[in-house]
Amino acid sequence: MRILCFVFCMMFLSSQVTAQEIEDEAVQWLQDFIQVDTINPPGNEYRAVDFYAKIFAEEGIAYESAESAPGRGNIWARLEGGDEPALILLQHTDVVPADLEYWTTDPLSGELRDGYILGRGARDMKGTGISHLAAFLSLHRSGRRLNRDVVFVASADEEAGGEFGVGWLIENRPEIFAGAGLLLNEGGAGARARGSDRIVFGVEVTQKVPVWLRLTAVDVPGHGSSPRTTSSVTRIVDALAIMRENPFPARIIAPVDAYFKGLAMDRSDEWEGAFANMSLAIEDPEFLPRLQEMNPGLHSLTRDTCSITRLSGSSKINVVPPEAWAELDCRILPDKPAEQFVAELTQLIAPAGVEVSVIMAFTPAVSDTTSRLYTAIERVTKELYPNSRVMPSVSTGFTDSHFTRDQGIVSYGFDPIINISGEPTGVHGNDERINVDAFRQGIRDMQAIIRDVVYD
């Protein structure tokens, strides 16, 4: 009996030590990875390939890599398992620029300060990428038989649309995705109100579809002292004014309705009733302006939107230019094709006499919530956090998941890290950071979820 107890105790202690070791490694990996400059533009993601290649070589894991263009590196590795559809752990390695003037540390420092790791990419998404790495290596080190292949993919260029990353890989390295049925990417996490033990885990199952447009106007140029009745600039201004005066109609699609109903469960204020029945709430003409004032992100889930982000006219103040243009970051709900939206917008602003051209447009897709991966997320988080619940969410931004959903792969945006509601993260902003304790917890929980999927 004593011998049996000793064996089990040693096995338990060994597993605890192994878990602690990989968490410690993950913290160091993230600090090191932040120091790898993959700011896009220009990207230079080959540096991330070198970072991961060194780790895989030390672990004895075979890997492949490819450049979609000079310096635009992508890397992938596979752990072979049984015949179940493969699970892909997908990350992007590029990060957005950072303005050193507004940071309290070097954005590429990976500094550990006051319980946080600081640096560009700590959240978006090098932190999640390292969580994927830790889970991938823990499976490899365990030596246990997997019921499916697990594929680690670190890609380029997501922050600029993915043309040199997942988009290129699907076209040129389709074998990476062949036989895959499940995928984890960025886009969802846990949230807990300060002082509360109730946690909501949001799993991104769809996203608003980006449709980036350019409006171009051509008219007679001339001297600024002698304005004509129309010009290229006034045509652009007129087109933008028509858009501002005619917001796109509000509508509540099924995933958005489910998301708001989930939010309503945690509210006891003026918003509870509205969130529980959004189809009715949007009929109140005063509701949507109040929602936009309170939370622009939630408001944007109720309709198609366009943000005016770039404008250009003359290069000289006293010259009326022959051409002017504006660029729009439009995001549409995933219930209609982009072509339909563009046609509707073109018709709306036709009186201004401008040309509409498409810079980029993706296709809509929604992942269902009946898969083994979604069930594992529900089961594991409930076991670990009894006062938690999981709900599908809709992202206002886009990720590389739109590529993989187009391939028929059930794709979720999810990292089990638990954020404190209202706590600044610095994503795409200043002093981007991740709480070390929360990061470690996310490492442990990510491994538990993936083990639930890949072990019979």
CATH code of the domain in which 264 resides: 3.30.70.360
Mean pLDDT of 63-71: 98
pLDDT tens digits, 144-160: 999 999 999 999 999 99
Do 150 and 225 lie in a common domain? no
374: closest CA among 345, 338, 419, 410? 410
Same domain, residue pair 56 and 154: yes
Residues 39 and 182 in one domain: yes
The answer to whether residue 368 is domain-embedded is no
Whether the pLDDT of residue 12 is over 60: the answer is no
Whether the CA torsion 116, 119, 125, 129 is positive or negative: it is negative
Give me the domain span that covers residue 253. 207-361
Residues 261, 344 within the same domain: yes
What SS3 state is found at 76?
A: strand
Q: What are the φ/ψ torsions at residue 332 (nearest 5 degrees)?
A: -115, 150
174 and 212: one domain? no
Residue 114: pLDDT over 60 = yes
**Amino acid of residue 358:** V
Confidence at 17, pLDDT banded by 50, 70, 90:
very low
Encode 372-381: b = buried (16+ Cβ within 10 Å), e = exposed: bbbebbbebb
Question: 425-455 burial by CB neighbour count: b if 16+ within 10 A, else e?
Answer: bbeeebbbbbbbebbbbbbbbbbbbbbbbbe
Q: Residue 128's pLDDT is what?
A: 98
- The closest alpha carbon to 399, from 160, 67, 47, 72, belongs to 160
Residue 123 sits in a domain of what CATH number? 3.40.630.10
According to DSSP, the β-strands at 112-113 and 319-320 are unpaired
On whether both 182 and 213 belong to a single domain, the answer is: no
pLDDT of residue 314 exceeding 50 = yes
Q: Are 77 and 152 in contact (CB under 8 A)?
A: yes
Query: Is residue 90 a part of any domain in this protein?
Result: yes
Question: Using one digit for the tens of pLDDT, what is the confidence trace for 234-267?
Answer: 999 999 999 999 999 999 999 999 999 999 998 8
For residue 383, tell me if it sits in a domain: no
With a cut of 60, say whether residue 3 has pLDDT above it: no
Number of domains in the chain: 2
